Structure 1
Amino acid sequence: MNAGLTDAAVAERVAQGKSNAVRQRAARSVADIVRANVFTRINAILGVLLLIVLATGSLINGLFGLLIVANSVIGMVQEIRAKQTLDKLNIVGQAKPLVRRQSGTRSLPATEVVLDDIIELGPGDQIVVDGVIVEAENLEVDESLLTGEADPIGMHAGQKVMSGSFVIAGAGAYRATEVGPQAYAAKLTEEASKFTLVKSELRNGINRILQIVTYLLWPAGLLTIYTQLFTTTHTGWRQAVLRTVGALVPMVPEGLVLMTSVAFAVGVIRLGQRRCLVKELPAIEGLARVDVVCADKTGTLTESGMRVSDVEELGGQRPEAVVDVLGALAAADARPNASMRAIAEAYGQPPGWIATATAPFKSATKWSGVSYGDHGNWVIGAPDVLVDPASEAAAQAERIGAQGLRVLMLGSCDVAVDHPSAPGRVTPVALVVLEQKVRPDARDTIEYFAAQQVSVKVISGDNAVSVGAVADKLGLHGEAMDARRLPTDPAALADALDTHTTFGRVRPDQKRAIVHALQSRGHTVAMTGDGVNDVLALKDADIGVAMGAGSPASRAVAQIILLDNRFATLPYVVGEGRRVIGNIERVANLFLTKTVYSVLLALFVGIECLMSKALHVDPLLYPFQPIHVTIAAWFTIGIPSFILSLAPNSERAHPRFVRRVLTSALPSGIIVGTATFVSYLLAYHGRHATFQQQDQASTAALITLLVAAVWVLAVVARPYQWWRVALVATCGLAYVAIFSTPWAQKKFLLDPSNLRVTGTAVAIGLLGAAAIEATWWIRARVLGVRPRLWR
């Protein structure tokens, strides 16, 4: 046996750069995060507009520049916190290969592997670097993650193995021949571990919305610049510049992308506190949209550990002989699974039993065995696989399994276990009864999914009757199906999945087929698992959820890893996803409504200016200066959107994000923009207006805008809870305070002293609010959803 490298040889290779020290995550550094949040397109636009305003000498109108600071600081803080959370959890969740060196064999981070290291392999281990097999004992490798081919490949000494593949059976060791950037693992890890917001309906929807906004901004912005700077010469250049900037600033949806990133980042942090590693951000959103959860039984619904509760002899052997055989089988397994570990804990190795041939356990065959020369050939595995399911021994095993217990059959066979026809004819010797403890929180989790209209399918390699008994304890009633009777036709398989909830004796390829069949019926599928037999299904499911104590291969392909191994953590992931989706929809409604009414108002004023120029009459000034649109954003968008984006929200996620946002924001924005323009026209006194009259007209337009915009907030905040009502009321009262305080009136260039003008503005604003309320009810009817005022 190769003893591995010496410590001196390892140090020498590290010094030469021949180690696997590659960055394990494609996460940005702190410097990258700072640059990405400071040097943004929106900050650039606002920065240029700020410099233009400061050139006029009006410092108060430059108050919107605080948005640049707020956008940058909030984004940086949240993303850095999310990065720190993910990096800490990733250290816990990453695979640690078993490296053999002359100083000893121990688990090391993959980054500490060096060229020529000897790495030991067992079932479920992922191959972390490229190499050549040096030892193989019934070793089988699955390369489906690389090639898509699910058939296992038998490995022998001298064969090459590629990083990214994983072991499904047997044991062995390989020598690292390619490490670091040269190994395929570097590319695989970089791609699979990328911290990203892409490939998300929510993110893609926001990008589409921003594209639409961009198309609106260009004509409205150019028209405003032309009309305010070149047709309103009677007002002076400073007023023209300020009015131009006042029109352009609210067109920019400065907080939409920020609030989306913050909502996702906070979700990562919250889930991290529950020991849940989210490897890809869209997984939070994706699980919120899931309507079917395929759950493995062992390790998910039940505890991973087991204990031997009974051994029932079936005749033909003395009890002490059965104990010896079980002890010998457990001792011969170099990488025991949970069942064999339980047997090893119960029975010690007998003296004088020397293995002459071994057959490792495989999910496809469901048995393992060892030949001992004079002591005979022994197998242990599923009773209904090793003997005729109609036999008395199999029937007895089924009766025991109906109590929710796992049952293995010990049998002797007439050929060596490595013979091509193994196991041959099997003589039943004993039934080994293993007790698994159902997770105490599993039932609550199942009930949560039922309440949320999410179907749960239990798929397991165990006996169908046993799996059905466990499911029944958890409230999943119905007939269990033996997967060996499942049809291979995808349509027929999908029909079977519609009528059954629990499936036993499921092979790994069948788990994948079940996922595909559910997806073919339009379902969004989450797969949970912890074993090597779950990898194919985890990889192809919409969302793969692995247990932290599961195999390295299962953790490698999953988007979400439950580091505390608790199935009960999933509802919190669903809750975070729903919070993100629901809250971002609210925030997008607010920001897009502002952009729509800003663009519409700019177009109204611009068209009026062009018509006035053609008629040789005095053109209309834009109603607002930058300070007006700044205070308008404070309590109708800025502060409320930040609170709403982080607030609890358990509403079911709805599809067609863009349609839902546009059908809400477009009518609201059109109503607010039209009402504001009408109010401004009624209050405007023409070219001969005094500065006081112009301020009164601007104030009237602002009052109308705020009354309608606050009602938009009131609609977006539904269904109401006490704190949402308080939020809307506080925002409305804040504006009442601003408009009624002499100091604020002076600082913010407001003049509500003309009661006739102010009263008309309030009345028009209330009419706009009534129209917004009507569109909310009409929209609900068009979308086919039930309008809810209160939760």
Structure 2
Amino acid sequence: MEQVAERGLTTAEVEKRTALGQVNEVGRRSSRSLSAIVRANVLTLFNAVIAALWVVIMIFGQWQDGLFGLVIVANSAIGIIQELRAKRTLDRLAVVNEAPVRVRRDGEEAEIPPRKVVLGDLVLLCPGDRLLVDGEVMESGGLEIDESLLTGEADPVHKAPGDRVLSGSFVVAGTGSYVATEVGDNAYAARLAKEASAFGLAHSELRAGVTKFIKYITWLVVPIGLLLIWSQLNKAEDFSQAVTGAVAGIVTMIPEGLVLMTSIAFAVGVVRLGRRRCLVQELPAIEILARVDVLCLDKTGTLTAGGMNLAEVRPLGDDPLTTEALAALANLEKTPNPTVQAIKVANPAPSGWTVTATVPFSSARKWSGADFGEKGAWILGAADVLLTPATPEYGQAADLAATGLRVLALGRVETLNESLGTVEPRALVVLEQRIRPEAAETLRYFAKQNVAIKIISGDNPESVSAIATSLGVPGGQNAVDARTLPEDDPDKLAEILDTTTVFGRVTPHQKRLFVSALQSRGHTVAMTGDGVNDVLALKDADLGVAMGSGSGATRAVAQIVLMDDDFTSLPSVVGEGRRVLANIERVSSLFLTKTFYAIVLSLLAGVIGIAFPFTPRHSTLVNALTIGIPAFFLALAPSNERAKPGFVPRVLRLAIPWGVVCALAVHLTYRLAEARSATPEECRTAAVITLFLVTWWVLVLIARPYLLWRVALVAAMAVLFALSLAVPFTREFFALTLGDPTDDLVAVGISAVAALALTIVFRVVRRVDKSQVQDRPTDTLEV
């Protein structure tokens, strides 16, 4: 073990263990396997039902009536192709997103992909690193591990040589190394993931709503389908005609394209965001930001760029060791954070400074320190933490911070330990932060969208306030020091969070409390961050957004990773989410209107004992022109409509009355034609004309707002139906028989009246929806 700690594995040992399969190969969370994608798109309940009905038609009916069977091929092929495109995008970005692992091999440090770690590798650790495999600690320099994602214990755990460490935890302070004892599927986090107890998928109200639709419709299809089959067998003199009528009703009841359109919308969203270098690690996550009404931003790394510049060092007194002490502390860190890196660049390591003890930096402490023996114990940290408020040095630091600068204090202590004693101030270290040029524009976008911004930082409140004010954040001048917040009173904390925008000196524990308090007020909360101190809050938020240059632990728990650290990508994520929600709600109304008019027609046919008014080929024609083709384009169209809760009831409020109106119009047309002694073929043709016109009018209402391409799409569907009636080949193929013009005119007249009824329903439901939104509490809508 001593040899391993000194040199790590040799190249020969690595090759041998790789050959034995002792490698950290685990499935990525970002996408499903090819076999899983094929199974999910082919082996569905609706495909099974449609396939069974197609077989029945092939046996007892005509092949033209089996065209609906192509839906299985189309749905499966399109779904598989789109998800494979998304999978390629996700996997490609996931590889880029993988934080490299630092190991020691053949006595030298190297960075390797996580999947190349082998059993027995010596893995090196520094703050922000995520542990990808289990192991035993070999070296510890104040190493502190946060295991809260695994155990729920919030306090970091000190690790000494010989202690066990688990994958899924991350380093919050100190440095060290450990030997990998479990890799791949044998690692602790991998086993937890298999048991579905480590990480939960982002909740999707959209997907849950579609699942509800399917469940309700399945309950209805079985009994109504049996009633329809019984009535058609009793009514029709010809058995094949009875089977054809029953199949037409059952097939029309099934919203077979709804699940497909939902999957396509998600997959296309993933591909589009992938082109903008946004890694969506959980597919439903593109929907959530569209619902977000509170966005919590970590200042460092989000509003400001990662790097800093050392502006000046202001000595406090005449201690000759001050400059060398600052340099010695800065050069202790092998992997310094941006703050220490800025100091290190300007201050080379001095000679003669030997370390006897260290306390590593942590977000909870806000300082780090080292004991240099006879040269004394020195600490470096936040000025308002190390300095006493009554002193002039504290006032100087506060004045500097108020201008947006970051101010640290360098001081001496008698004894170095984690409980901070009396600090003798020796210098103020002033650093300039680099504000991201795109930050102001992005914040203005969210303000226009009524998304409340909460700037949460571990920095001095005055410094955070100055940056927020420079970016034009409303309320940015009124910063709150998180150390004064009532953590033991959740209601009071939630009230303060609702009315305040900027918070400084926030600890990692408080960030979690902030997320929880905001969620308790009914808010949907998104959290951005890049540091190890953001991990727990990102995990608890409804949506975690990490920066690509952030720590491995942060990127691992976030649902979305901005690979290029481009804050301006967030509006794109919002846009994709809104596109998905608005468009799927739009096409859901189309599909479910079809389902409900089929249910009503089936009930009428079953109870009254009449023939079903159209055949499967008629259903295929009308559904293709009023639902299938338009839905494909509408589901992928741009949209900026604000997401609203209540997806399921809102869609049903439209689809049910629309379905009833359409069904009554078709039924009335069929019965009037039948009363005029028209042939069964002429009756069905009149019914099909009415069915097309009323469902086409549903499309007209759904297609709003009327952009040029939408008008062209709707008009093209009408032209195609007219051609189907006019061209002899298509008229014969779809069994359309134009008889007495009176029947067709009656069909058009009934359709016009039904269209008026559909429009009235649309306006009434929209007015009800708008009033319900206005009646919601203001604090959940506007800021």
Q: Aligned with 2:568: secondary structure?
A: helix
Counterpart of 1:637? 627
Contact 1:196 1:280 survives alignment (8 Å): no
Q: How many residue pairs get matched?
A: 767
Structure 2: which amino acid aligns with 1:316? D
Cα distance, 1:460 vs structure 2: 0.3
Counterpart of 2:776? none
Change (3 A) 1:515 1:111: same
Counterpart of 1:240? 242
1:282 aligns with 2:284: yes
Counterpart of 1:16? 20
Q: Aligned with 1:567: secondary structure?
A: coil
Counterpart of 1:324? 324
Cα distance, 1:20 vs structure 2: 2.0
Structure 2: which amino acid aligns with 1:309? A
Counterpart of 1:455? 452
Cα distance, 1:245 vs structure 2: 2.3
Q: Aligned with 1:217: secondary structure?
A: helix
Counterpart of 2:668? 678
Counterpart of 1:783? 769
Structure 2: which amino acid aligns with 1:742? P
Counterpart of 2:744? 758
Distance 2:717 2:492 in 1: 57
Counterpart of 1:486? 485
2:163 corresponds to which of 149, 159, 164: 159
Structure 2: which amino acid aligns with 1:477? P
1:169 corresponds to which of 164, 170, 173: 173
Cα distance, 1:464 vs structure 2: 0.3
2:271 corresponds to which of 260, 264, 269: 269
More divergent stretch after superposition (724-733 vs 288-297): 724-733
Counterpart of 1:393? 393
Contact 2:30 2:280 survives alignment (8 Å): no
Deviation digits for residues 249-270 of structure 1, max 9, x if unmatched?
Answer: 2111110111111111111111
Structure 2: which amino acid aligns with 1:591? F
Distance 2:212 2:422 in 1: 65
Contact 1:195 1:279 survives alignment (8 Å): no
Change (3 A) 1:197 1:124: closer
Change (3 A) 1:196 1:739: farther
Structure 2: which amino acid aligns with 1:752? L
Distance 1:224 1:679 in 2: 20
Q: Aligned with 1:760: secondary structure?
A: helix
Change (3 A) 1:500 1:26: closer
Counterpart of 1:384? 384
Deviation digits for residues 302-334 of structure 1, max 9, x if unmatched?
Answer: 10011112222223135xx54433322211112
Counterpart of 1:614? none
Distance 1:193 1:303 in 2: 35
Q: Aligned with 2:651: secondary structure?
A: helix
Change (3 A) 1:193 1:11: farther
Q: Aligned with 1:545: secondary structure?
A: strand
Cα distance, 1:440 vs structure 2: 1.0
Counterpart of 2:615? 625
Distance 1:370 1:786 in 2: 61
Distance 2:93 2:28 in 1: 13
Change (3 A) 1:268 1:581: same
Change (3 A) 1:148 1:420: closer
Contact 1:25 1:190 survives alignment (8 Å): no
1:724 aligns with 2:710: yes
Structure 2: which amino acid aligns with 1:481? V
More divergent stretch after superposition (38-47 vs 125-134): 38-47
Q: Aligned with 1:440: secondary structure?
A: coil
Structure 2: which amino acid aligns with 1:451? K
Counterpart of 2:777? none
Distance 2:286 2:373 in 1: 55
1:547 aligns with 2:547: yes
Counterpart of 1:612? none
Q: Aligned with 2:6: secondary structure?
A: coil
1:71 aligns with 2:56: no
Distance 1:349 1:659 in 2: 67
Change (3 A) 1:469 1:192: farther
Q: TM-score, normalised by structure 2?
A: 0.94
Change (3 A) 1:392 1:197: closer
1:309 corresponds to which of 301, 308, 311: 311
Map residues 80-229 of structure 1 onto 2, 5 A cutoff. Answer: 80-102=84-106, 104-188=108-192, 199-229=203-233
1:434 corresponds to which of 409, 431, 434: 431
Structure 1: which amino acid aligns with 2:389? P
Map residues 585-734 of structure 1 onto 2, 5 A cutoff. Answer: 585-609=585-609, 620-685=610-675, 693-734=679-720
Distance 2:196 2:103 in 1: 24
Cα distance, 1:28 vs structure 2: 2.9
Distance 1:351 1:28 in 2: 55
Structure 1: which amino acid aligns with 2:181? T
Counterpart of 1:556? 556
More divergent stretch after superposition (363-372 vs 647-656): 363-372
Deviation digits for residues 109-154 of structure 1, max 9, x if unmatched?
Answer: 2222222221111111111111111111111111100111101111
Cα distance, 1:272 vs structure 2: 0.9
Cα distance, 1:420 vs structure 2: 5.2
Counterpart of 2:462? 465
Deviation digits for residues 208-249 of structure 1, max 9, x if unmatched?
Answer: 11111112211221122122234311xx23333322222222
Q: Aligned with 1:255: secondary structure?
A: helix
Distance 1:508 1:26 in 2: 27
Cα distance, 1:584 vs structure 2: 0.8
Cα distance, 1:85 vs structure 2: 0.8
Structure 2: which amino acid aligns with 1:487? P
Structure 2: which amino acid aligns with 1:456? I
Q: Aligned with 1:106: secondary structure?
A: strand
Distance 1:477 1:104 in 2: 52
Distance 1:186 1:194 in 2: 8
Q: Aligned with 1:481: secondary structure?
A: strand
Change (3 A) 1:568 1:11: same
Distance 1:713 1:142 in 2: 54
Q: Aligned with 1:2: secondary structure?
A: helix
Counterpart of 1:617? none
Counterpart of 1:50? 54
Cα distance, 1:17 vs structure 2: 2.8
More divergent stretch after superposition (358-367 vs 238-247): 238-247
Distance 2:326 2:702 in 1: 65
Cα distance, 1:641 vs structure 2: 0.7
- Give the CA RMSD over aligned residues: 2.1
Structure 2: which amino acid aligns with 1:104? E
Distance 1:387 1:560 in 2: 39
More divergent stretch after superposition (330-339 vs 462-471): 330-339
Counterpart of 2:755? 769
More divergent stretch after superposition (44-53 vs 695-704): 44-53
Cα distance, 1:704 vs structure 2: 1.1
Structure 2: which amino acid aligns with 1:483? A
Distance 2:434 2:666 in 1: 66
Q: TM-score, normalised by structure 1?
A: 0.93
Distance 2:222 2:174 in 1: 65
Change (3 A) 1:3 1:391: same
Contact 2:10 2:105 survives alignment (8 Å): yes
Distance 2:634 2:587 in 1: 7
Q: What percentage of aligned pairs have identical amino acids?
A: 52
Counterpart of 2:521? 521
Cα distance, 1:421 vs structure 2: 4.5
Distance 2:664 2:201 in 1: 36
Q: Aligned with 1:18: secondary structure?
A: coil
Change (3 A) 1:146 1:431: same
Contact 1:194 1:279 survives alignment (8 Å): no
Distance 1:195 1:697 in 2: 58
Structure 2: which amino acid aligns with 1:739? L
Q: Aligned with 1:124: secondary structure?
A: coil
Distance 1:642 1:340 in 2: 53
Contact 1:27 1:194 survives alignment (8 Å): no
Distance 2:428 2:521 in 1: 41
